[in-house]
Amino acid sequence: MSLNNTSHPGRPGLDELVPSRYALKVGAIDVMVVSDGVLSLPGTMLGHNADPAVRAAWLEDKFLPPDVLEWALNVVVVRSGGRTILIDIGIGMEFPDLPRAGKLAQRLKAAGIDPASVTDVVLTHMHMDHCGGLLADGVKERLRPDLQIHLAAAEAEFWESPDFSRVSMPPGFPDALRRTGKRFLKEYHSLMRTFENEYEVAPGVVVQRTGGHTPGHSVVRLASGGDRLTFAGDAVFAVGFEHPDWYNGFEHDPEEAARVRVRLLRELAANRESLVATHLSFPSVCHVAVAGDVFRWVPAVWDY
Ligand SMILES: [Zn+2]
């Protein structure tokens, strides 16, 4: 038996043997996590300040291979107050060496979401796996002319002249990220709506700047009817629960990124709200538990 896990445009559901979307409610807000696919990256970028033996042991303990890390790439669609909001937009065709990602366009189509119905895009930051989808062929033409793209002013400013001196990325990535950032600013400048610290995109949908991962990195807080969920973008990775002080290779200010991570995880553990993050295993809906300085990822029960 062979499993074909690609979804086929125009034939929603039929060939989706591997689920690529997961819907839930946060009070009156509709939320759908959609997978853009998987990024295959070197295991070292999990924690470039970690002892290699400890890092290898962590991978071993998680039943993961020592060299290649398969990183989920989650995007979220939110509907509130008559607006349809995409939080991040996947990698598009920005890095051909990552052929297992860039599936968002076909998966939105399979989910019955027309790009022309999207009123707002929120970017947690401008790394290519979060903004590249808007640069894919044929996408811009299908968007509404009054689309608003929300991002922190510090993020837009950073990508005018980005500093890569503190990152530890695989070869080829810094150049590709610079190229995508530049192109994005050029293509979408007129649709960008920047904010300083936070902005309410729709009722109960607030984007908040955290900094750290990139200077304008932001998270999205959803709140409705006493229910809460945070989309953490790249503030939290799977390894960050047990080792929040490990520096991820893509963090432009690793010390600040670790402080942001710990602060956010502590808050989520205290108020018991749900967490979704870009690179946690799909659909990534979970809670955060804490014991001392170590956090634990508690996956939500799959509701179907
Ligand atoms: Zn990312």
- For residue 17, what pLDDT is reported? 59
Per DSSP, the three-state class of 46 is: helix
Cα angle, residue 278 at apex, residues 272 and 279 outer, rounded to 5°: 100
Q: Which range, of 161-165, 275-279, 292-296, 300-304, averages the lowest pLDDT?
A: 300-304
Cα of 42 vs centre of ligand 1, distance in Å, is 14
Cα of 127 vs centre of ligand 1, distance in Å, is 6
Amino acid symbol at 109: K
Amino acid symbol at 289: A
Sorted by sequence, the CB contacts under 8 Å of residue 233 that are 6+ apart come out as: 88, 124, 125, 130, 213, 217, 218, 219, 220, 277, 278
Bridge partners (DSSP) listed for residue 220: 207, 231
Cα of 202 vs centre of ligand 1, distance in Å, is 24
Tell me how far CA of residue 278 lies from CA of 14, 32, 53, 84, 285, in angstroms.
26, 13, 27, 19, 11
Cα of 41 vs centre of ligand 1, distance in Å, is 11
Cα of 129 vs centre of ligand 1, distance in Å, is 5
Cα of 278 vs centre of ligand 1, distance in Å, is 6
- Mean pLDDT for the chain? 92
105-130 pLDDT, tens digit per residue, is 989 999 999 999 999 999 999 999 99
Cα of 277 vs centre of ligand 1, distance in Å, is 9
156-207 pLDDT, tens digit per residue, is 999 999 999 999 998 899 999 999 999 999 999 999 999 999 999 999 999 9
CA distance 292 to 281: 25
